[in-house]
């Protein structure tokens, strides 16, 4: 009993303040959450406090439910107020995205004042004040102001895209920032079985409603492609979507079946609007496709350029004509799909698996 007491004293305590319940949001699941076991092995104890509870999470990105969303947001603020008194008990406060979603960075300032050390972890280019994808939290909040404050005053900043590293190093008062890529547990995201030779080739895309604008970019190209080659399109989403003249299946995302659903895809799609906002995206969709051993076709912009080895593990394109030609080539050439898919899986294993990325988080925590 005495030894256990000493062990508890020696453990460093981390408080994680995040927007969503644990295990729900991709921006949390494929970043820091999957490393909790390794943090604990390193001697850190972890407590997670999300802003939104699970009940609010289930309706947060659905149409209507306005009163429930307001009630859930008020509950979130109450939880944040109640936790302020214990902030000083933790060795590190780990903030993902923001402390609270609305208004000026008031709670962020209070946390900075009370906390011994603060790590700020963000996704996308949330510090930009310009236009951005449709999202409830982005449209009604001052997330750019909150993010800018946390980037400046945190003891360390963790970001998902190398394109934001220079900005963070310049803006952070301690010049303490690290690019840590999203990562895939390749023990869970296993390679798909060999496809049946006589089946229709499936193009696939996975994403949430905030990414609809990117999916819409492919409408003209896919309609043109459909006139010259046969294929099926699968969307793994949390929203309804229609696509006239295309053989379309929409699958509601479910954590229990996400690997099985991804395995239905033969070629992954990753379209992006070529703007400053998307430079900050971590390329998670591409990593998911690559992890199951299928080739990806992606917009030649942002982090995807760093992840995909063009012509080897996938293809990078810029125009509708290039989308059409690249997809047609992959649909018609099974050997090319197999070769690129195998190379993609190997590349993710070596560079973007949890085993490969784990060390970066441990180094940052031990520095503090």
Helix runs in 268-353, H state only: 276-279, 284-291, 304-307, 320-332, 334-351
Q: Per-residue pLDDT averaged across 157-179, rounded? A: 97
User: How far is it, in rounded angstroms, from Cα 225 to Cα 219?
Assistant: 10
What are 83-139's pLDDT values in tens digits? 999 999 999 999 999 999 999 999 999 999 999 999 999 988 888 875 455 443 444
All CATH 3.40.50.2000 domain ranges in the chain, comma separated: 2-182+355-367, 202-351
Alpha carbon distance, N-terminus to C-terminus of the chain: 29
Q: Which CATH architecture has domain 202-351?
A: 3-Layer(aba) Sandwich (3.40)
Q: What is the pLDDT of residue 135?
A: 45
Indicate the average pLDDT of the chain. Answer: 91
| Phi, psi dihedrals of residue 163, rounded to the nearest 5° | -70, -15
Q: What is the pLDDT of residue 208?
A: 83
pLDDT band at 166 (very low <50, low <70, confident <90, very high): very high
SS3 94: strand
Rama region for 259: left / alpha / beta (φ>0; ψ in -120 to 50; rest): alpha
Q: What is the pLDDT of residue 132?
A: 54
Lowest mean pLDDT among 69-73, 115-119, 206-210, 278-282: 206-210
What are 21-55's pLDDT values in tens digits? 999 888 999 999 999 999 999 999 999 999 999 99
Q: What is the pLDDT of residue 4?
A: 45
CATH superfamily of 2-182+355-367: Glycogen Phosphorylase B; (3.40.50.2000)
Q: Do the bridges between strand 118-122 and strand 177-179 make them parallel or antiparallel, or are there none, so unpaired?
A: unpaired
What are 59-79's pLDDT values in tens digits? 987 888 999 999 999 999 999
């Amino acid at each position: 009993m005495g030894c256990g007491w000493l062990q508890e004293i020696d453990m460093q305590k981390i408080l994680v303040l995040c927007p969503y319940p644990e295990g729900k949001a991709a921006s949390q699941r494929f970043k820091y959450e999957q490393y909790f076991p390794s943090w604990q092995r390193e001697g850190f104890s972890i407590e997670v406090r999300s802003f939104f509870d699970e009940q609010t999470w289930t309706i947060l990105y659905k149409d209507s439910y306005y009163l429930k969303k307001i009630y859930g947001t008020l509950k979130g603020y109450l939880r944040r107020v109640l936790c302020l008194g214990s902030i000083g008990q933790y060795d590190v406060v780990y903030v993902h995205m923001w402390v609270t979603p609305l208004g000026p960075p008031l709670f962020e300032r209070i946390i900075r004042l009370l906390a011994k050390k603060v790590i700020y972890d963000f996704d996308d280019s949330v510090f930009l004040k310009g236009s951005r994808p449709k999202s409830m939290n982005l449209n009604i909040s001052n997330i750019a102001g909150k993010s800018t404050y946390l980037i400046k005053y945190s003891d360390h900043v963790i970001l998902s895209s190398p394109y934001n590293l220079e900005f963070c190093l310049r803006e952070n008062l301690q010049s303490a920032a690290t690019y840590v890529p999203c990562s895939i547990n390749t023990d869970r995201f296993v390679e798909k079985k060999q496809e049946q030779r006589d089946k229709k080739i499936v193009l696939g895309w996975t994403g949430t409603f905030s990414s609809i604008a990117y999916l819409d970019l492919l409408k003209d190209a896919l309609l043109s492609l459909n006139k010259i080659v046969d294929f099926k399109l699968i969307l793994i989403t949390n929203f309804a979507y229609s696509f006239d003249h295309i053989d379309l299946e929409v699958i509601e995302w479910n954590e229990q079946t996400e690997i099985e659903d991804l395995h239905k895809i033969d070629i992954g799609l990753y379209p992006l609007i070529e703007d400053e906002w998307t430079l900050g995206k971590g390329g998670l969709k591409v990593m998911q496709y690559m992890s199951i051993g299928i080739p990806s076709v992606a917009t030649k912009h942002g982090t995807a350029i760093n992840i995909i080895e063009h012509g080897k593990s996938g293809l990078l394109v810029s125009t509708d004509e290039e989308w059409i030609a690249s997809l047609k080539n992959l649909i018609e050439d099974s050997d090319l799909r197999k070769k690129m898919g195998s190379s993609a899986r190997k590349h993710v294993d070596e560079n973007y698996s949890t085993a490969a990325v784990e060390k970066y988080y441990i180094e940052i925590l031990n520095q503090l």
